[in-house]
Amino acid sequence: MKKLYFTVLAACAAFTMNAQTNVSFESWNQGNPVDWDYFGQGTHMNAFQNAGDLTDNNGDPVVPSVEKTDVPTDGGSYVRMTSFLLSNSIDPQNLPDGPYGSVNYQLFASTDKYEDVSFDVKYDVLGSDEALLFVQANDANGDPVGQGFTQLTGTQANFSTETVTINYTTSEPIVEYEIILSASIGEVFNNVGGNPAPTPEPGSMLDVDNIVLGNVIVDAPNVTNVVASDISDNGDGSDLEVTFDVPNDESDIANYWIVATDENLTPGVLQDPLTFFQNAGIQSTPDGSNKTVNFAAGDVYYYIDNNQAAQTPIVEDSLMVVWVYVEGQNGAGDVFAASNDITLTSQTTGIDSEELTAVKAYPNPAKNNVNFVVPNAEGTLTITSVTGQTVVSQPIENNVENVSTHALNNGVYIYTVQDNAGKVVKTNKLVINK
């Protein structure tokens, strides 16, 4: 049985894509909806009928997924999903006797970013059970870009429209969507919001018709080359600086909001990221120029505590990320970008605090070579791209290290100096411009 483990995002695997553009239930083949199956495994839900006896809460036989033709809201039919009790299983090791939720799953290709997806539904969900409407957008690697879901309880006797809003968690391009419908949420999620999902109730029923993709969101242009640096040795927020390049056309951008967080708090885990960034962030308005934003001594960074955003003063030796949240306007969607990981430091081996200011790189911007001045130190010099790829790593053996940048492309990089104990001495931006 396929389960999706729900934390912030459901960990959905990438399945073979079906050629499907119509996401309604209007095509049927031998009693099964075409291009809908059981978690992308190429098997319709009704295959469970071959596994043993399927019954509802009254002990009556159940067909998990049935085409219904009485008063559909779109076309000539809709689907009815009914959860069931499996008994007398022919494969008890892989399909043990017990309750199962009825599921229909579809994967379809699209590069559009949909605001939401609506479903016409009626249902009779028994006991503490919950029915589920789930939508997830994936990138080219099958990793989640955004998702949304609605839980249904009780009884809705007539078709009504439920809209699932999609919360986008990254700015990666979308290539496909997954839609999962289930009469019992426990067949899909092991837990929801940190609580165990209810066990499927045999006889719980969900009818679905007329699945409609919502408006396409056109995003604002995003910032690039977001680099966080440790620029001083004060032991507080004044050590933290972030720079980023703005788009050439800022007409669809209202504001930039800059916030430092730990590695677990991302815009995508927030229920209302714009409001959070407006309340918590440093504001920078579009003016046609690239940005340098300095944090102040009393500034804080944010982390997750009991599923809530909490704050604590920026100090040394804490791993942070700086987010730039781009607030769209004129109908453009919000986007965001993260900096490199940054840890502020000052207590070092081999370099005392007065000498930290002398750690520098020149020329910067560099062409084919760059010199690193590292007084009285032995350790390691690392250069990474803004995406985190290490492009240079070499030991520091002299006060001045010369590094060839001949093999590096033009762009922004981050250099990090570590002492022999592995402690970060200095992190800053390096620009290659040949």
- What pLDDT score does 327 carry? 97
Report the range of poorest mean pLDDT among 83-92, 137-146, 215-224, 372-381. 372-381
CA distances from 247 to 90, 251, 277, 287 (A): 61, 10, 20, 11
93-123: b (≥16 Cβ within 10 Å) or e? eeeeeebbbbbbbbbbeeeebbeebebbbbb
- What pLDDT score does 298 carry? 92
Nearest to 180 by CA among 141, 154, 147: 147
- Is pLDDT at 119 greater than 80 in this prediction? yes
Report the range of poorest mean pLDDT among 14-28, 36-50, 347-361. 14-28
352 pLDDT band, cuts 50/70/90, is very low
- Is pLDDT at 244 greater than 50 in this prediction? yes
For Cα atoms 178, 179, 181, give the angle at the middle one, nearest 5 degrees: 145
Please give the mean pLDDT across all residues of the chain: 86
1 pLDDT band, cuts 50/70/90, is very low
Amino acid at 90: I
283 pLDDT band, cuts 50/70/90, is very high
Q: Quick one: average pLDDT of 13-41?
A: 59
Please enumerate in sequence order all residues whose Cβ is within 8 A of that of 306, keeping only pairs 6 or more positions apart, or say none: none
The tokens of 241 are what?
């600086």
Neighbouring CB atoms inside 10 A of 172's CB total: 16
- Is pLDDT at 20 greater than 60 in this prediction? no
* Residue-range domains of the chain with CATH: 28-213 (2.60.120.890), 224-343 (2.60.40), 353-432 (2.60.40.10)
- What pLDDT score does 30 carry? 66
349 pLDDT band, cuts 50/70/90, is very low
Partners of 163 in the beta sheet? 118
4 pLDDT band, cuts 50/70/90, is very low
Whether 195 and 189 have beta carbons less than 8 Å apart is answered as no
Q: What pLDDT digit, counting tens, does each position of 202-226 carry?
A: 999 999 999 999 999 999 999 999 9
Full strand arrangement of the beta sheet holding 167-168? 103-109, 176-182, 131-138, 144-152, 167-168
Compute the distance between CA of residue 168 and CA of residue 269 in angstroms, rounded to an integer: 9
434 versus 116: the higher-pLDDT residue is: 116
Compute the distance between CA of residue 336 and CA of residue 351 in angstroms, rounded to an integer: 36
The tokens of 120 are what?
């016409």
Q: Quick one: average pLDDT of 330-340?
A: 92
Q: Quick one: average pLDDT of 249-258?
A: 98
177 versus 356: the higher-pLDDT residue is: 177
- What pLDDT score does 24 carry? 67
Q: What pLDDT digit, counting tens, does each position of 183-192 carry?
A: 999 999 988 7
**What's the residue count for the chain?**
434
- What pLDDT score does 23 carry? 63
The tokens of 321 are what?
């990320």
For Cα atoms 337, 320, 306, give the angle at the middle one, nearest 5 degrees: 100
Q: Quick one: average pLDDT of 411-422?
A: 82
Compute the distance between CA of residue 392 and CA of residue 256 in angstroms, rounded to an integer: 32
- Is pLDDT at 12 greater than 60 in this prediction? no
Strands 379-385 and 390-396, sheet pairing: antiparallel
- What pLDDT score does 347 carry? 53
Q: What pLDDT digit, counting tens, does each position of 76-118 carry?
A: 889 999 999 999 999 999 899 999 999 999 988 899 999 999 9
- What pLDDT score does 339 carry? 94
